[in-house]
Structure 1
Amino acid sequence: MNLTIDVKENGQEYQITLAGEIDAYTAPNLKEKFIEIAEVKNAYITVDLTNVSYMDSTGLGVFIALLKAIKKTEGTLKFVGVSERLKRLFDITGLTDILNVNSQVEGGVK
């Protein structure tokens, strides 16, 4: 399966738009891209999941690793465009409580 990763940068703000499936096959590329960005001090990262059709536990693991890396560099992470299906996955795993998950697409890097 495929995953498209589009990154727009404006200073320390990053708008990451994902499209496709996040699974064991695509997660390593995603993690590699996230780790680069997470190293930026005080980065403000918005991840748009509007066009993500599928995500498994591997994807959730990538997001947890990103959150940990972001905290070390005093950055901010939020998710927008979360479908009901993905929101349910975040809810079931308890990640809604620790990740900033919003179903609406708002703001972002222009």
Structure 2
Amino acid sequence: MGADDFPNLDKEEVDFTLKELTVNLQKKDLPNNLPKEAVVLKISGEINLYSAHALKEKIFDLIDKGFVYIFINMENIHYIDSSGLAVFMSVHAKLIKNEKGGLAMYAPSSQVIKIIELTKLKTLIRMTKTLTDAIDVLLN
């Protein structure tokens, strides 16, 4: 797939809201060095047993469409449980299997940082303070 024929996403294709989780495609204020095969998601609420499956399906759908750099704004996530962590581990595994791309979270809340550190997943789930830092981590 060439750069010119890479799919363009509409917010309607990505955005969804559940009782405990909202997912939005971020299309504004994106850095110039964001790869064409990248998608930036802003999620808020809780990633738990009830919302994790829908989030995983949405991200896998994006990967299947060719988006291999997944950036997730976590500043408004106030709770994540083991099923939420499993979503990110599954996404990481799928990208590794495809041998291209990566997953990075940025602007995580203190609660998310604490859970990632407690579970020792910091080496697999890359976390940075900003989207620019996340891009640098995945591309360099």
Same fold (TM over 0.5): yes
Q: 1:4 corresponds to which residue?
A: 22
TM-superposed deviation, 1:8: 3.8
TM-score (normalizing by structure 2): 0.69
Counterpart of 1:89 (choices 110, 115, 123) is: 115
Q: How many residues align?
A: 108
Identity of aligned residues (%): 25
Counterpart of 2:56 (choices 6, 14, 31) is: 31
- Rg larger for: 2
Structure 2 gap ranges (5+): 1-18, 28-34, 136-140
Superposed counterparts of 1:47-66, under 5 Å: 47-66=72-91
Q: 1:68 corresponds to which residue?
A: 93
TM-superposed deviation, 1:40: 4.5
Which is richer in strand? Answer: 1
Q: 1:98 corresponds to which residue?
A: 124
2: CA distance between counterparts of 1:90 and 1:28?
A: 19
Structure 1 gap ranges (5+): none
Q: Which has the higher contact order (CA 8 A, sep 6+)?
A: 1
Q: Contact 2:71–2:131 at 8 Å: present in 1 too?
A: no
What do the CA deviations read for 1:33-76 (whole angstroms, capped 9, x no partner)?
01112235572111110011111111000110010011122112
